[in-house]
Chains A and B, each alone.
Chain A
Amino acid sequence: MAESHGGAKGPAAGAHTEADGGHHGGGFPPFESSTFASQLVSLAIFFVLLYVIVSKLALPKVGGAIEARQNKIEGDLTEAQTLKDQSEAALKAYEGELASARTRAQAIGNESRDKANAQAEAERKALEEQLAAKLAEAEKTIASTRTTAMSNVRGIAADAAGQIVQQLTGVVPDVASVNAAVDASLKG
């Protein structure tokens, strides 16, 4: 490549002077001082332009966007923290409430159980008394019934004895002696 270029001014350059075209003399372009003034002036113009755009418009805009985002994130984080604190406080309050409600419920339960027990006891006692009274009455009835029945048995036995004697002997026995005999056998 060096020779392809270095020979640009030599007599054997015919083949590639067209590659260099109508260029200023065919030197190495970065070292051609005739172009320096133009480049420096354009560089000055465009770099100053870029500097003004960057410092007055671009950086404030982009920096502002970044800062706004940072602030928003920080604000959101603070808000989230307060909300978290609030929810924790609410949870604590709820747990306290729950505990007190539980103790209250226990108290109420105990009380109502006691009351129900007492009532049931009273009812049971009343019922027992009633039953005992009924039992006593029934026993009394049974006793009287038995006494009646026993006296009836004695009459029937006396009658039967009188009849039997009459049948066997043909004599009507004395009522008093039959009764005495029946009594004596009942006791025996």
Chain B
Amino acid sequence: MDYQLIWALLIAVAVFAYVTLDGFDLGIGILFPFIKDPAKRGRMMNTVAPVWDGNETWLVLGGGGLYAAFPLAYSLLMTAFYIPVLTMLLALVFRGVAFEFRFKSRDHQKHWDFAFSAGSIIAAAMQGAMLGAFIEGIAVENAKFVGGPFDWLSPFSVFCASAVVVGYALLGTGWLIMKMEGNFQGRLRGLAKPAVIWMAANLGVVSLMTSYIHPAYAARWFDMPNLFFLAPIPIVTAGLLFWLWHAVKHREKTVFGITLGIFFLCYAGFGITLYPNIVPPMIDFRTAAAPDNSLSFMLVGAAILIPIILAYTAYAYWVFRGKVGDEGYH
């Protein structure tokens, strides 16, 4: 069995699971500045209070899995992204404790709302910036990071940060449209419209810039016969954006689904651009892989436990299905 390829795919799946699942949790925090009413904010948080912890666990699996399966990539990327990784983690500290603290606080609810919102926005922005810096490539010589602490910050990474923040906001909106009713749902629909335009513009810019970063990236997409096979990805993405624009006005459940679809296609496009590199532009996933006996040992556990995890996670979502009213759980 090709353990290296299997683990590269598994970690890609774990990261995607994190991006989409914590994406809508973070999206709720990103929407906070637009919703001032404390009761509504409480309802918004309560829609994810029972599941956010499980959602965030995929981030631990992504990081832990990278450490286990591709130690060299883990070491190089974390060192190169020292500032954005730790900033993201501290932002997630504020975001995470706010779930409990907000409802325990008597006089400081506003402060914890701010912590929740700022934490969500900063964490999302750092993830986007790292995505951008990842695409641009890491300065590595002789398997050592040789760049500076602010290499990750560039116009391109800022665009990516903006794309991720607005993308998460859309995921959060789609989630809340499913969970809310009446006037408040209408308010969310109103917020979603400019977000769709912003995201469409952002995706266009990021895609075009990506093809200029590295000749190999452009070649991957525009050389024959790749152009023919890969053209459906941007075309379908554009189609989904149009559909989303309409769904935002009328539909209740499809908004979230379409946004997930857009995230999936963007993620796939990102993977196609970079494959087989795990530390662009030079180190591929095979070079960075742990020994085969480590990968096979972990695969046994993953094969048994991941289906079980998916089952009880789905059960938890099912238990807390449906609309969330003012009472909440707290």
Tell me if chain B binds chain A.
no
